Amino acid sequence: MIGMERTWTRVLPWMALFAVAMALLESAVVVYLRALYYPDGFSFPLGPIAPAIVATEIGRELATLAMLLAPGAMVTRSALQRFAWFALCFGIWDILYYVFLRILIGWPTSLAEWDLLFLVPLPWVGPVWAPILVSAGLILLAVLILHGSTLARRLVPDTSTWGLLLLSAGLFLTSFILDPLRWLYANGEAMVGTSAVNAFLAGYVPSPYPWPLALAGAGLGVAGLLRLAVRMTR
């Protein structure tokens, strides 16, 4: 450990480079998958894929999260700052993932394009703008936490701030999984597992996105970030 609590700006370029490289790697994998399984275009219903590939994809997603967690653990002992580095890397990775896909294959054609976001522990879906908005918030939160660690009186989010941020995250998560859960239940499928994912891919067509949930989540997230920023200025 090298005590990066007070020198986070020195580490930032390397963390950003790691996240950019991860984004390019992730987008490259998706380019290959779409060339193999969706050569005629990526649109719902997507169609089933081999169960072994589904299991591999789930494992890859878990490995990606572990890789995004690891750099922060190598530069600080602070659990809060480790979370901040994870949030920063995740946000950069997620946003640039879509940027690289746009460059490589011309997708998404707009921020309203629907995407399959995650498969863990069950399918997440939503328009591209929603995860980008979440990722932008994670980057801002990470910068505030890391900068707060350098102040004379180290600033950490208080209980009210965490409450706002957790409620925001919960509402966004609900907006991503609510319709998939409804579909799986209505079709008598299990909530998790490769067979449930394949049934979902074969038959799911998105309903209108529950944007009021996302809007409420965004409002709570902004309130939490503003609260933290105001406390920092004081």
What ranges do the domains of the chain cover? 4-233
Q: Which helix (H) or strand (E) holds 116?
A: strand 114-118
Q: Which pLDDT value is given to residue 20?
A: 98
User: How far apart, in Å, do the first and last CA atoms of the chain sit?
Assistant: 31
Could you count the other beta carbons within 10 Å of the beta carbon of residue 159? 7
**What are the pLDDT digits (tens) for 170-196?**
999 999 999 999 999 998 888 877 888
Confidence of residue 152 (pLDDT cuts 50, 70, 90): low
**What are the pLDDT digits (tens) for 43-82?**
899 988 888 999 999 999 999 999 999 999 998 888 999 9
**Cα separation, 16 vs 79, whole angstroms:** 20
Range ranked top by mean pLDDT from 16-30, 146-160, 181-195: 16-30
Cα 150 vs. chain centroid, distance in angstroms?
27
**What are the pLDDT digits (tens) for 118-134?**
998 889 999 999 999 99
**Cα separation, 89 vs 69, whole angstroms:** 8
Give the pair of three-digit tokens for residue 103. 């460059």
